[in-house]
Structure 1
Amino acid sequence: MTIRRLSYALAVLLTVAGCKDKPKDQTETKTDQIAMAKSPVFDADSAYRFIEQQIAFGPRVTNTVAHQRAGDYMVAKLKQYGFEVTIQNFAPTAWNGTKLKARNIIGSLNPQVAKRILLAAHWDSRPFADQDSVQANRTKPVLAANDAASGVAVLLEIARTIQQSKQKPTVGIEIIFFDAEDWGSGDKVSKDYEPKVGDQVDFMGFCLGSRYWANNPHKPGYSAYY
Structure 2
Amino acid sequence: MTMIEHNNLEEYQDPVNYDLEFGGEEDKYQFYLELARSNPGEVLELACGTGLTTIPLAKAGIKMTGVDISSAMLAHARLKAEGLPVTFIESDARTFESDKRFAMIYLTGNAFQAFLSDQDQIGLLATVHKHLQPGGIFAFETRNPKGTELADEEETGWGSFIDKDGNNVKVSGTQCYDASRQIMHWVTIRDWGNKRTTSRISCRFTDQDVLRSLLTRQGFRIEHQYADWHKTPFTPTASSIISVCRK
Q: TM-score, normalised by structure 1?
A: 0.24
Greater relative contact order (Cα < 8 A, sep 6+): 1
More helix by share: 1
Work out which of the two has the higher radius of gyration on C-alpha atoms and give 1 or 2: 1
